[in-house]
Structure 1
Amino acid sequence: MTTLRVLGSAAGGGFPQWNCNCFNCDGLRRGVIAASARTQSSIALSEDGVHWLLVNASPDILAQIRATPALQPARAARDTGIVAVLLVDAQIDHAAGLLMLREHRSALPVYATPAVLQDLAEGFPLTRILSHYCRLQAHPLALDASPFCVPPLTGLRLHAIALDSKPPPYSPHRAAPQRGDNIGLRIVSASGKRVFYAPGLGHMTPHVQAELAQADVILVDGSFWSDDEMQRLGLSPQSARDMGHLAQSGPQGMIAALDQVPAARKILIHINNTNPILVDDAPERRELAAHGIEVAHDGMEIAL
């Protein structure tokens, strides 16, 4: 049986964010709101509970490994259950954890699109940095949705689905986005269960809606409740859409899109620290529940 484990469910900066004193972050620190701390977004997949594919390597990867004993099977003096890393984009909150894996005893297999690999070679030169440590073994992903597998997880079929989004702010082509800057991942287990994972999703295009319609489990962008969330709080001049995220509320929001797929299990992940859905008893959380939508948490496991 394939297991999908949520290692981290928060957006960049985690929850609480180290320098943020918004209602959520301040309330969690003071213990006056019903909420749980979260690390930065990442999931892991395994068919046998021993060998794991890490999907995104967040800056919190060391804490996530400590919280997930299966990732450290301890079969030798130096060991890991992580057989490879797949990146859906080159954002710092999804790629910086590769630096924490520098002691890997052989070249670390990294699956990513050519656009992401380019950013990791130029804008955020992890390829060059890690060449002095474990080294990265690059596996470029095709963007034709063709199936591929990551050994030894040979019963798991994966498909890279190109999404409309932006590369990271540090990227040399930030102002000229390329196809493959951001992907969703279609995951098909040996049992036939189908997952669509897209922690960064800015536009609900017809091909994305088709992916949602065919999925048994949907794990999608839960960054912001409202498009003007950061602007209204005085934390950023940018809207959610400016940052490449589709907000949950509103007639064209994520809730409305997920309402079109009533049969699937629907879960929000990559939740920004400002989002009111982080508070267990918030009215926004009740609204999600009324639409059959869950909120991911660190340690959540899904059997496929």
Structure 2
Amino acid sequence: MKIKVLGSSAGGGFPQWNCNCRNCDGVRRGTLKATRRTQSSIAISTNGDDWLLVNASPDLLTQIAAHPELQPARRARDSGIAAVLVMDAQIDHVTGLLMLRERDTPLPLYATDAVWQDLSSGFPVGPILSHYCGVEHRRIALDDAPLAVAPLPDVQIDALPLSSKAPPYSPHRNAPERGDNIGLMITDLKSGKRVFYAPGLGAIESHVLAAMREADLLLVDGTLWTGDEMIRLGLSKKSAADMGHLPQSGPGGMIEVLDSLGTGRSRKVLIHINNTNPILVEDGPERRVLTEHGIEVAYDGMNFEL
């Protein structure tokens, strides 16, 4: 099983188009040792030709251009993207679906009922695409039944409901539904290796912690370093918790959670990194802390094979 990190940043990318925080200003000027990133998405394949796109970011066309495998050119119109799975209905995870409108067949789209409701109403990607390629909604049931995805033979996907809020445009924004946000346990049935993917984690519930303990590779929420990061920088009035993210540092933070899993069992990688997060500075003290704890920082183009 092959996994490609197409985008490793949180919403807005890095640098964010309108942000002049120390990180964004520094990467533009070349005064910080930091790498530009597009908005978070991964792709999964077993044969290297047919890929499941997990989350379709607004940067999808740039990501396709950076990864020739996603444009194999086997015929006049072609794509290596055989299907898409979306983990929530947030703008930075679904806007890229509109970029796939030129398909000559309906787009297979895996989503929970709650997410599909949002994509049929508050942010009506489904109805919009019905005027172009069309969409085949394939239901993620959340009933503990493993999900078999057509382009991934010998791969099992288990969806885990996570605590979160639906997007601001969702009809149930103020009444969260099971399935508004999910994590994925992705298992290669031949090797037995497992990947836990959760770019948005606001709370470590018991079923989430159990899944993390079983994984050989963890790709988890790396959005913010501290709970008050955005407030302290004067960029938002919302804390990490308000935004549905667990900060890395401090009591109960992601570093502490990952440390509790022990060493040597799994590879630990942070993804969905906000432009303000100091871990983006490659020679900074926060990055050194992560290294001391055996934690890596995802970057665009990072590859895994399990």
Same fold per superposition (TM over 0.5): yes
Moved more, 182-191 or 139-148: 139-148
Match of 2:278 in 1: 276
Match of 1:294 in 2: 296
- Map of 1:4-15 to 2, 5 A cutoff? 4-15=3-14
Pair 1:222 & 2:253 matched:
no
Match of 1:145 in 2: 144
Report the secondary structure of 1:153's partner residue. coil
Pair 1:192 & 2:183 matched:
no
Pair 1:159 & 2:158 matched:
yes
Match of 2:206 in 1: 206
The answer to whether the 8 Å contact 1:144/1:161 transfers is: no
1:144 CA displacement:
2.4
Deviations 1:38-91 (A, max 9, x none): 000000000010000000000000000000000011000100010000001000
- Map of 1:72-91 to 2, 5 A cutoff? 72-91=71-90
Runs of 4 or more off by more than 4 Å in structure 1?
Answer: none
- Map of 1:1-304 to 2, 5 A cutoff? 2-189=1-188, 190-262=190-262, 263-304=265-306
1:171 CA displacement:
1.0
CA RMSD of aligned residues (A): 0.6
Q: Which amino acid in 1 is paired with 2:226?
A: S
Q: Which amino acid in 2 is paired with 1:186?
A: M
* Alpha-carbon distance in 2 for matches of 1:268, 1:241: 17
Deviations 1:148-187 (A, max 9, x none): 2111312111011100111111111111110000000000
* Alpha-carbon distance in 2 for matches of 1:146, 1:254: 28
Report the secondary structure of 1:258's partner residue. helix
The answer to whether the 8 Å contact 2:199/2:222 transfers is: yes
* Alpha-carbon distance in 2 for matches of 1:152, 1:97: 19
Q: Structure 2 length as normaliser, TM-score?
A: 0.98
* Alpha-carbon distance in 2 for matches of 1:179, 1:239: 23
Q: Which amino acid in 2 is paired with 1:133?
A: Y
How many percent of aligned residue pairs carry the same amino acid? 65
* Alpha-carbon distance in 2 for matches of 1:246, 1:264: 20
Report the secondary structure of 2:279's partner residue. helix
The answer to whether the 8 Å contact 1:40/1:58 transfers is: yes
* Alpha-carbon distance in 2 for matches of 1:261, 1:102: 42
* Alpha-carbon distance in 1 for matches of 2:13, 2:70: 21
The answer to whether the 8 Å contact 1:6/1:298 transfers is: yes
Gaps of 5+ in 2: none
1:249 CA displacement:
0.6
The answer to whether the 8 Å contact 2:52/2:151 transfers is: no
1:261 CA displacement:
1.3
Deviations 1:79-120 (A, max 9, x none): 001000000100000000000111011100000100000000
Report the secondary structure of 2:108's partner residue. strand
Q: Which amino acid in 1 is paired with 2:32?
A: I
* Alpha-carbon distance in 2 for matches of 1:106, 1:218: 34
Q: Which amino acid in 1 is paired with 2:288?
A: R
Q: Which amino acid in 1 is paired with 2:281?
A: V
Report the secondary structure of 2:257's partner residue. helix
Q: Which amino acid in 2 is paired with 1:151?
A: A
* Alpha-carbon distance in 1 for matches of 2:293, 2:212: 15
The answer to whether the 8 Å contact 1:276/1:282 transfers is: yes
Q: Which amino acid in 2 is paired with 1:108?
A: L
* Alpha-carbon distance in 1 for matches of 2:76, 2:197: 34
